[in-house]
Amino acid sequence: MKYYIAGKITNNPNYKQQFAEAEKQLIKEGHHVMNPAILPHGFDYEDYMTICFAMIDVCEAMRMLEGWTESPGANREHERAKATGKRIDYIRNMAKHGAILFG
């Protein structure tokens, strides 16, 4: 399955590690992954959202990382996934217990 990873990036000093761990787990599960945390710096916010929506559109599912509700961008991505009928998985307690998946 093709997965998009969504979570809080802005003002999150650990986002690269969190997204990398989620990507590694998804690959281990046998999925293909779109990871927005590896996009280059220097684009405007709306440019990133346009790119991310295109990434979401080619995926079948989305994995929401802990803290995503605090991110306006991740909330927009979540709404896009819901509106286009994507499967959405939610991760809780990453820091304390490793990734715990809630479908």
Q: Which of 75, 103, 92 is nearest to 18 (CA)?
A: 92
Residue 15: pLDDT band with limits 50, 70, 90:
very high
CA–CA gap between residue 2 and residue 35 (Å, rounded): 11
Domains of the chain: residue spans and CATH:
2-102 (3.40.50.10400)
Q: Quick count: other Cβ atoms within 10 Å of Cβ 97?
A: 8
CA–centroid distance for 38 within its chain: 11
Which is more confidently placed, 95 or 11? 11
pTM greater than 0.85:
yes
pLDDT at 103 over 80: no
Q: Which amino acid is at 71?
A: S
Q: Are residues 31 and 58 in contact, defined by beta-carbon separation less than 8 angstroms?
A: no
The percent of residues above 90 in pLDDT, for the chain, comes to 87
Residue 43: pLDDT band with limits 50, 70, 90:
very high
Q: What is the mean pLDDT of residues 30-59?
A: 97
